[in-house]
Amino acid sequence: MIQSVNPVSGEIIATYEKHSFNEVDTIIHQCAKAHKGWAKEGFDRRSALMLKASEILRTQANRFARMITLEMGKPIKQSRAEVLKCAKVCDYYAENASTFLANEKVKTAASESYIAFRPLGVVLAIMPWNFPFWQVFRFAAPALMAGNGALLKHASNVTGSALMIEQIFKEAGFPEHLFRTIKLAGKETASVISHDLVKAVTLTGSVGAGKAVAGKAGSGIKKSVLELGGSDPYIILEDADLEKAVDVCVNSRVINSGQSCIAAKRFIVVKEVQQRFEQLFVEKMKEKVMGDPMSDETEIGPQATPSLRDELHAQVTSSIEMGATCLLGGEIPKQTGAWYPPTVLSHVKKGMPAYDEELFGPVAAIIEATDETDAIRIANDSVFGLGAAIFTKNIERGQQIAEKEIQAGCCFVNEMVQSDPRLPFGGIGASGYGRELSYAGIREFTNIKTVYVK
């Protein structure tokens, strides 16, 4: 059995029967059969259906947002924004897929030679709970527009969201079985990866899960794309506009109640402005409203599960025991639910969990740097490499650091790290490999084929 549990009250929202292995095998065969016909469809047909999915997302956004908030506690205003962002990614690939996957002519000794982008087949997506709709649609929109079939193994606690997404594609008119949800526990997914009809896999999740999935896919010589954890550094230089920087930094730290791979995690502040930065940061964090996630006034909801909250608190207490200073928060509220308050740690040093590990919640780690060179060193002193941000009034300086100095998949200057359908998204190191979104994302799950005609 699979259960969805409300992280506010601890009450069971719904219980679902898992699929048997025979049922999963049937679903995979059905998806593979649907893909064969879908791969022959032109882009006009694919685009029309994807635009219909976008329309459904917009017109029923409140209903979908409510399910997201019920299952994982995201503030409802952010849940609605997530659903609408999914509509945008559907629009983007509906409008651009034919261009991104058009044959590319290459001049050679042949009478004609070109590169074609052909679908791979059935692609398995293993998705997390923190953005229950967005993580799925940023995979599904390009994968389906490229002509693939799609299987979704979602996090168990957001099974209701997973089934809603499957229904969206059905209602939009996509071929039956082309997009299917598989209800399995995480440990049971290995057999799906190894299935002969599954041609590729994409995972958004933990480093441990990434290693397991990559290993299983690799043993079957199957393409994989991994978007794993992040401990994004935000560098605040001595010439930064501190008030603007703090606004961006705080918002990035608490978005989705701090449960985002690309949320700001480590705030690396040049010594001469650290004291003022900390003062402003704590003031802004105090202003954030933690409460009922169904209220539009709420900015921070509960953590997705009590166990995740407890793991976060253990990282905080361990860091404090090792010498970090707690400037705000740091204590579990005495109330029902998986709550954790906005928390600020200062004097964070290497060897502490707040320095070395990903903090998946509304906890900020402030690290002092002597100068720009030291700040860059600290930013790169991590196994992760997903996103990063630099704050400075000297745009050229910030751009040079972002492009040439920081080891990460995406670097922003004077703005929070965020995903955009128009830009490639992904990381390096322990943050994974491969890219989602933009033209790079749709080409990940295609056969990039050379055609040579003499």
SS3 at position 227: strand
Catalytic residue among 86, 90, 261, 411: 261
Calculate helix-pair angle for 43-59, 76-100, nearest 10 degrees: 170
Single-letter amino acid, residue 117? F
SS3 at position 56: helix
Q: Residue 125 and residue 227: Cα distance in Å, rounded?
A: 11
Catalytic residue among 71, 82, 166, 227: 227
Pairing of strands 112-119, 104-105: antiparallel
Q: Residue 376 and residue 355: Cα distance in Å, rounded?
A: 14
Let me know: does 323 contact 285? Beta carbons within 8 Å.
no
Start-to-end Cα distance in the chain: 59
Q: Which residue, 107, 139, 109, 137, is CA-closest to 124? A: 139
Clarify whether 227 is annotated catalytic. yes
Q: Residue 159 and residue 86: Cα distance in Å, rounded?
A: 18
Q: Residue 368 and residue 417: Cα distance in Å, rounded?
A: 21
> Residue holding tokens 């033209």?
439
Which residues participate in catalysis according to the annotation? 227, 261
